[in-house]
Amino acid sequence: MCGVIGLILAKDSEKMGQTACNLLRALEYRGYDSTGAVIQTESGEITLKKDVGAPSKVVYDLGIDKLGGQIFCGQVRWATFGAVTRDNAQPHEVKCHTHVYGAHNGNITNCSQLKEWLVSQGHKVVSDNDGEMVVHTVEHFFAEELRFKDENNLDDRYEALKNAVVKAFQKTTGSFAAIIVDPVARRTVAIKAGSSLYIGKGHTPELEDFYLASSDLASVLQLTKVLVPIKEKQFAIFDSSNFALYDIRDGRQLEHSCQRSLLKVEETKLQHPYRYFMEQEIYSQSRNTAKLISLLSGGNGVIRLLRDNVETHAECYVDISEGLQQLALVTEHEEFVRRVGELFESSPVAKLAGLCSQFAGCGASLELESGFASLLEDVRRALDEIGGDRCDPVLLRLIDGIFEFENIRLLEERMREFVDIIVKARKNGDSIYILACGTSFHAAKTAPLFFNEIAGISVTPLLPGEFRAQCTRSLGANDVVIGISQSGETKDLIDVFSFLEEIYPGVRRICILNNTNSTLALEKSHLYVPLFCGPEIAVPATKSFLNQLLVLYGLALEVKSRLEEAGDAKIGDGLPASFHREEMKKIPGLIDLTLKTTQQETEMVAQQLYLKPSMHILATRILGIAREGALKIREIVLNHTEGFEGSEFKHGPNTILGLNSIFGLDSVAELMKHLEEVLNFVLENKKGEPLKPRGVLRMFKAISEYAFQDLQPTYLRVEEREVFDEVFRHFDVFNSLYDNYPLIFITTPRKRDINLTISQINTHKIRGANVYLIAEDNNDLREAVSVAPSMTYPYKHGYITIPRTDSKILPIFSITVVLQMLALKMSLKKMEFMNRLEIADHGVHPDVPKNVSKSITVD
């Protein structure tokens, strides 16, 4: 997992270096083992800067920000092939047979064979990095093609470069994206062959015209909202003003067109008062879920106003929507302003303006909320530039509502199709599987709770690897496979969907995802359902997970409604769909209240746990939430944490309770205090003459060897041996290392869940557990947690009280938010602790923890 960037301008810019730094830092979540940049000037001067470390530090240490130039190729690395060294850092500049430079993101599985072949062909390979093999392989075939052409002819170089990319792809095995630059012709190649890649076209006053390719959409949006879609197994060749798209399998040229991204740039920036993206994204969940629930429920007052007038205004809605979508394709500023003026003088806009007088009665705000809000802000600025009174905020809000209305209509269509598929599968006895990885898998593990409880539907959650092992030879011809992916680029899921497409074409493939421009959405699924959570920058998923839960809740509810309409009202929990709809509407307020009321208790528990090397989260019925909470702590605190079904913990894992050999930094600190007491005892011994310094040194060597290796100290003198024996009569060196093992329990207020949780708490705490509970307030639970058992070590406990709901489903959302906040607080405390000790490269960080990446696009 890495990130690559390629940027090319019309001419040199002194802002290139700072722009490169900003882009590299935007990709830090994708990789931070090493960072590198090549910047080339119009005159051909090439500067390569790279080193081990995260871009937030390395870019300024290397002075990248001070460079000017025309072309930039950059990379942030999350190491897979090759150690974390400067040689293995990317980009790579190679000059063996000709001259190119470049970088890649992904995994070349025949890396060793490529290296051996390249060396045999006379290439000087200086690293073990598969990215260097990609660059050398393109260089090899580029040089081979140039032998039959005029290398000084730009058209010949273009054709040679295109053919070289096709041949290099045929030579490599794996999944990757790459940026390759021909420094002579000053052209950039962007390759998408199994890993994410986005291309943008733009113009800014500082950079003027440019094309930009990046592994990350948010980094492209920093500079332009105009995207050039590139699909799997395609590559582009471009300079600042010319662009062509090709099929990488045969070099065939493809048609392409530009489109404007629907994402707001503001959603990719850290806002005051937050210090970290994870913190910002946790607190955004109340608003995010409210927006999603509004979409799932048919919309707000603006949508109702538009819906009420759809018979008389349908044509004007369509005309305005099409006009705005055409505007989204305009990249020249003057042309954009002119077209905005024409649109707002048109009869459809005038007709829509007639509804402005009814706006006050719909109870909606003027805030732009649709996916076209970013474009409408550009429209607002253009109208201000034109002047006059055409920039009516109510009119803009109604136009914004048209796009919300369209989103709702499309979402309703997608949900109807989803329900059709699920109800048919239920009727025919077909199996329904839900596949996902990481956090998305924990949403999949929670999905059966919604579908079983609400709709009486059985769904089976599996990891893609489990699915391959358990199901690929036993699938029914009409089974249903639902994938969940935040990015829509999850490699394991893409591989399974590709397999199904080829071997089981009758199996319906559905995906629930956030990135609707992704491979899974556009290429691999019969149907996708969007999450509408916006961009998520921090590596640990928070708001995307909550939206995944909410979409699954909503889909189960729609299935329930359909079955009710068919006369099957008693399915699931027997409660009507209308009850669950009202319950769902409480979620945003519940999240907000949870964040406001649990801070102090969460802080106290975080303080006790952040240095504990290992812990378990035990759930009753909500295993997916326990595993997600455990993943969050593992990811950003780097403390071993596992999520278990509470009743399963006693079947072996409970052996970790009481005495064990898991010692953390807190245990080391206690040991040092204990050794201080031992040292004081040795120095103040009453056995005759004080020990000399060498004697004290021998004494501590003897104590250490005997305590930790059971070695007898035969080298001690008589008086030293007497003191040694006294030490072990008075002190138990090991005892200071031990503490009770921390268990975090989570439960809903369901009576059976509470009783099981109480039983498990009492069972485990007498065997050496410190108990922490996240639950609604309950006297029996509180007593079970707070009463100390008779035990060797001091009993510690905590109770994080979530708001009362008396619901079996809603606490899923409040418990999730508390676990996210607990992990965040623990991470910040441990990061500050490690920084204070000046421990280098400790990797504890809430946004970019070590060894993980936002989107896993390698095998």
- Residues 647, 669 within the same domain: no
Strands (E), 248-335: 253-254, 259-260
Express each pLDDT in 664-687 by its tens digit: 888 878 888 878 888 888 877 766
pLDDT at residue 633, rounded to an integer: 98
Mean pLDDT, all residues of the chain: 92
pLDDT at residue 694, rounded to an integer: 86
Domain that holds residue 176: 3-261
pLDDT at residue 387, rounded to an integer: 84
- Using the 3D structure, point to which of 703, 737, 771 is the last residue of a domain: 737
In a domain, 298, yes or no: no
Express each pLDDT in 147-171 by its tens digit: 989 999 999 999 999 999 999 999 9
Express each pLDDT in 426-457 by its tens digit: 999 999 999 999 999 999 999 999 999 999 99
- How many separate domains does the chain show? 4
- Residues 137, 221 within the same domain: yes
Euclidean distance between CA atoms 256 and 199, whole angstroms? 12
- Using the 3D structure, point to which of 237, 261, 285 is the last residue of a domain: 261
In a domain, 342, yes or no: no
Of 161-165, 171-175, 376-380, which has the strongest mean pLDDT? 161-165
In a domain, 560, yes or no: yes
In a domain, 33, yes or no: yes
- Residues 648, 577 within the same domain: no
In a domain, 836, yes or no: no
pLDDT at residue 691, rounded to an integer: 77
Question: Percentage of residues in the chain with pLDDT exceeding 70?
Answer: 97
Adjacent-strand bridge partners of 643: 617
Asked whether the predicted pLDDT for residue 461 surpasses 90, the reply is yes
Euclidean distance between CA atoms 523 and 472, whole angstroms? 21
- Residues 786, 819 within the same domain: yes
User: Where residue 98 sits, what CATH number does that domain have?
Assistant: 3.60.20.10
User: Where residue 624 sits, what CATH number does that domain have?
Assistant: 3.40.50.10490
b/e 535-564 (16+ beta carbons within 10 angstroms → b): bbbbbbbbbbbbbbbbbbbbbbbbbbbbbb
- Residues 761, 729 within the same domain: no
- Residues 808, 758 within the same domain: yes
- Residues 712, 639 within the same domain: no
Q: Which of 76-85, 164-173, 357-366, 536-545 has the lowest mean pLDDT?
A: 76-85
In a domain, 287, yes or no: no
Q: Which of 229-238, 482-491, 511-520, 706-715 has the lowest mean pLDDT?
A: 706-715
Torsion of CA 490, 6, 245, 224, to 10 degrees: 90
Sign (positive or negative) of CA dihedral 188, 192, 197, 202 = positive
Summarize the confidence of residues 333-339 as an average pLDDT.
86
- Residues 105, 146 within the same domain: yes
pLDDT band per the 50, 70, 90 thresholds, residue 689: low
- Residues 808, 703 within the same domain: no
- Residues 530, 544 within the same domain: yes
Q: Which of 138, 130, 131, 100 is nearest to 113 (CA)?
A: 130
Express each pLDDT in 60-90 by its tens digit: 999 999 999 999 999 999 776 678 889 999 9
Asked whether the predicted pLDDT for residue 101 surpasses 90, the reply is yes
Answer whether 288's CB lies under 8 Å from 533's CB.
yes
DSSP 31: -
- Residues 629, 687 within the same domain: no
Q: Look up residue 412 and give its two tokens.
A: 């309703």
Distances (CA, A) of 124 to 119, 135, 136, 685: 6, 12, 9, 67
pLDDT band per the 50, 70, 90 thresholds, residue 246: very high
Residue that has been written with the tokens 């109340």 in this structure: 286
Euclidean distance between CA atoms 538 and 288, whole angstroms? 16
In a domain, 612, yes or no: yes
29 or 784, which is more confident?
Answer: 784
The predicted model scores a pTM of 0.76
Asked whether the predicted pLDDT for residue 267 surpasses 80, the reply is no
Euclidean distance between CA atoms 646 and 619, whole angstroms? 5
Asked whether the predicted pLDDT for residue 503 surpasses 90, the reply is yes
Express each pLDDT in 384-413 by its tens digit: 888 877 789 999 999 999 999 999 999 999
- Residues 40, 90 within the same domain: yes
pLDDT band per the 50, 70, 90 thresholds, residue 781: very high
- Using the 3D structure, point to which of 558, 585, 612 is the last residue of a domain: 585
In a domain, 73, yes or no: yes
Q: DSSP assignment of 357-420, as one string? A: GGGGGG---S---STTHHHHHHHHHHHHHH-SS---HHHHHHHHHHHHHHHHHHHHHHHHHHHH
